[in-house]
Every structure is written in structure tokens, then in C-alpha cells.
Amino acid sequence: MRTIAWVGGMFLLLLLVAAPAAAMTSDTLDIVIREDGRADIRFTYHLDWFEYFAVYLRLVDPATELKKALESEFKKPVTVISVGSTSVDLSVGSFASVSSSAGKTTARTPGLSFAEGERILKSYWFAPLIRIDLSPSVTTVRFPDGHVETFSDRIEIPPLVHSW
């Protein structure tokens, strides 16, 4: 029995050493601002075999990690709506500050940085085995009047101000 466990452990070790580095990459971040300032957020990502294995064993939970990072960033509660193998849907109340004056509504969104999230993920024991890129390939911020701001491959999204 000990021999089987030893052989299995050695096989797993060889597999990890011989395998190419896995990568967690952010695909898209879509933020929809509602008229009351709430934001509906959809984050899509791609996990390689190692990350899928880590998620399957519950070593890491992308939804929980994203929720914690956003709550830390915005100092506001974040609600996880749904989680899939390649996406997380969240909601953040009062994400944008909304004001009205002279028949015009203005929304101000906070800046957003993924640098801290990358730092946190790089502190995990398995970090040397993976490449982490949390900067979404495409980030879109959609306002209630249909106006859209788009950013490509940015680790930080600046604060936005939009009026309609």
C-alpha cells in the first residue's frame, strides 16, 4: 500500500515538474451601472488544467477571491449572483455615486485595480506553478443611457464620470 502511494506521489510530482506552466487569465470584465448606482458585474476567465484542479479540490475559489478583492477595493458589500467554470456574476450596491441637477444625471464610478488581486494570488503555495494575469483582455463599463467605455489589457481602470 505504501509503495502505491509513493509511486502515485512521485508520478504527481513528475507531472507537475514536467508540465508547462499553467496560466489563469482574465478574459472580460463587464460592468453595468444601474440608475441607482448599483453595478452588475460579469467577470470571465480562463483556467488551465492546474487551476481547474485547484478549484475542483476547493484549494481556491475564484468567486470568493474576487468578492474579497472587490470588497477590499470598494469598502462595500459584494453579492455573488452566480458562479460558473469560466465566469462569476456579482452585484455591488452603490458602486457609482449618482446625482441629478437641472434635469441631468451624473454617475461617478470608482477606479479599479487588479494589482492587489494578483499580489494575493501570487502568495498562494501553488503560485510558482502558474502564471497569473488578472488584467482583463477587455473591460467595458456600461451606463444607463447606453454609453460604453472600453479598456483593453489594463490592470487599472480609472474612475469615470458620465452624464446623461
What is the pLDDT, as a whole number, of residue 13? Answer: 46
What is the pLDDT, as a whole number, of residue 36? Answer: 93
The grid cell for 26 is 482574465
Q: How many CB atoms lie within 10 A of CB 80?
A: 14
Residue 96 pLDDT level (bands cut at 50, 70, 90)? very high
Query: Which strand (E) or helix (H) includes residue 125?
Result: none
Write the pLDDT tens digit of every residue in 116-159.
766 766 676 666 666 666 778 899 999 999 999 999 988 888 99
Residue 1 pLDDT level (bands cut at 50, 70, 90)? low
Average pLDDT value over all residues in the chain: 76
What is the pLDDT, as a whole number, of residue 21? Answer: 47
Residue type, 103: G
Q: What is the pTM of this model?
A: 0.72
How far are the Cα atoms of 5, 12, 13, 49, 83 from residue 18, in angstroms, in the given order? 20, 10, 9, 14, 31
DSSP label at residue 36: T
Q: How many CB atoms lie within 10 A of CB 32?
A: 17
Task: Let me know: does 138 contact 152? Beta carbons within 8 Å.
Answer: yes
Q: Which of these, 141, 133, 140, 137, lies nearest to 152 by C-alpha position?
A: 137
